[in-house]
Structure formats: C-alpha cells, structure tokens
C-alpha cells in the first residue's frame, strides 16, 4: 500500500510559463532579507573583533594599580588555548630581606596552563588557596618586573587574585571565549 502522505510534504512544483520549477518568491524575498540582516551581524562581529572584544584590542587591554603601587597589565578577554601575558610590576617596598614573595590564587593556576614565569622563582610554595613564588631581589632600586605567560584550557570566567605576601592584592576577572 503506497502512502500518499510523503508526497504532500514535498515542495509543490509550480509552473512558470513552460518551466516546471519549485520557485517560491515569497520565501526567496524573506531569504534575501535574512541575508542582509546577517551581513549587518557579521559586520558588527568583525568590528567587535577588531576592537578587541575577543582579545587583543582596546576593549580587552586592561591595567590596574593597587594603592601600594602594584601594577598589572592583562587582557580582560582572551580565547581558549591562545597564550596571554600577565605583566606585573611590584613596588620596591614589596621586597623583604632581599626577597620578593608574590602569590597568585590557586583557582587560576588550576584552570590555566602556565607556559612560563619570569623571573624563574627561587622557591615555590603552595597553600590551600595560593601559590607563592619567591624571587631574589638583591638590589630593590626600582619596580620589580614579573611576567606570567599562560593559556586557558577551557572557556569561561577566570577569577584572578594576585599580590605580594602581607601586601596589596589585586582582584579581577578574565573571560575566555571557547
């Protein structure tokens, strides 16, 4: 028993002059409108990309300074697996007995892959919620530069807490696009 149901769901074949064709001008017009709307969305997306919404740009580049003089520059937005740099400058006051003890929250280190730390720490300690790096600073004449190269393994919000022991803390978020 051949069912006719299947046939009625297929596109109706129209006849235009001598041509049998499945043309649907009403639909076609909507499709063209949809195309044009889509172009606007695409243009906005590209513009946002250039401006840095997805990393690397004015919207994304951020700097913070703590009251005690800790400066950090970082990217607010980044893309998954793309390397990103956290650049810190610790004030000379942060140095105690020729050493700088700076720390970062464990949650952040858990969620990213650390590609490199400059300078190489003398010592690394882990506590319940922090990773503490110790750097030798024999002559604390100016701000001490610390660079952290990381890449995020998963998308989402990354909370960052960074500072020096018994000193200032900077707290901010990074958002990682998938």
42 binds another protein (CB under 8 A): yes
Annotate each residue in 134-173 with x if it binds another protein (CB under 8 A) or - if it does not, as one string. ----------------------------------------
Q: Distances from the Cα of 152 to the Cαs of 54, 99, 117, 173, in angstroms?
A: 14, 29, 15, 13
123 binds another protein (CB under 8 A): no
User: Contact with another protein (CB under 8 A): which of 1, 16, 128, 141?
Assistant: 16
4 binds another protein (CB under 8 A): no
Q: In this chain, which stretch among 27-35, 90-98, 134-142, 160-168 interacts with another protein, using CB under 8 A?
A: 27-35
Neighbours of 147 (CB within 10 A): 12
How many secondary structure helices (H) and strands (E) does the chain include?
Answer: 3, 13
Quote the DSSP letter at residue 11: P
Neighbours of 64 (CB within 10 A): 13
Q: In this chain, which stretch among 12-20, 89-97, 109-117, 167-175 interacts with another protein, using CB under 8 A?
A: 12-20
Instruction: Provide, rounded to whole angstroms, the least separation between the CB of residue 11 and another protein.
Output: 5
Q: Distances from the Cα of 172 to the Cαs of 28, 44, 66, 176, in angstroms?
A: 49, 27, 12, 13
Site residues for another protein, 78-97, by CB under 8 A, read 81
User: In a 10 Å sphere around its CB, with 0-12 CB exposed, 13-18 middle and 19+ buried, how is residue 154 labelled?
Assistant: exposed
The residues of the shown chain that bind another protein, judged by CB under 8 A, are 6, 9-11, 16-19, 21-25, 27-29, 31-32, 34-35, 38-39, 41-42, 81
């Amino acid at each position: 028993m051949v069912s006719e149901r299947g046939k009625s769901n297929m596109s109706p074949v129209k006849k235009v002059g001598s041509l049998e064709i499945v043309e649907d001008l009403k639909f076609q017009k909507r499709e063209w409108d949809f195309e044009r709307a889509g172009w606007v969305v695409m243009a906005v997306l590209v513009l946002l990309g250039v401006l840095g919404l997805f990393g690397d740009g004015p919207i994304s580049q951020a700097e913070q300074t703590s009251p005690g003089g800790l400066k950090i520059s970082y990217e607010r937005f980044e893309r998954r697996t793309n390397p990103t740099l956290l650049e810190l400058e610790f004030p000379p006051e942060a140095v105690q007995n020729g050493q700088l003890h700076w720390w970062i929250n464990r949650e952040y280190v858990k969620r990213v892959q650390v590609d490199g730390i400059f300078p190489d720490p003398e010592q690394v300690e882990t506590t319940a919620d922090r990773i503490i790096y110790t750097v030798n600073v024999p002559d604390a004449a100016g701000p001490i530069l610390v660079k952290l190269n990381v890449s995020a393994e998963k998308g989402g919000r990354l909370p960052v807490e960074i500072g020096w022991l018994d000193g200032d803390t900077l707290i901010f978020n990074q958002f990682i696009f998938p």
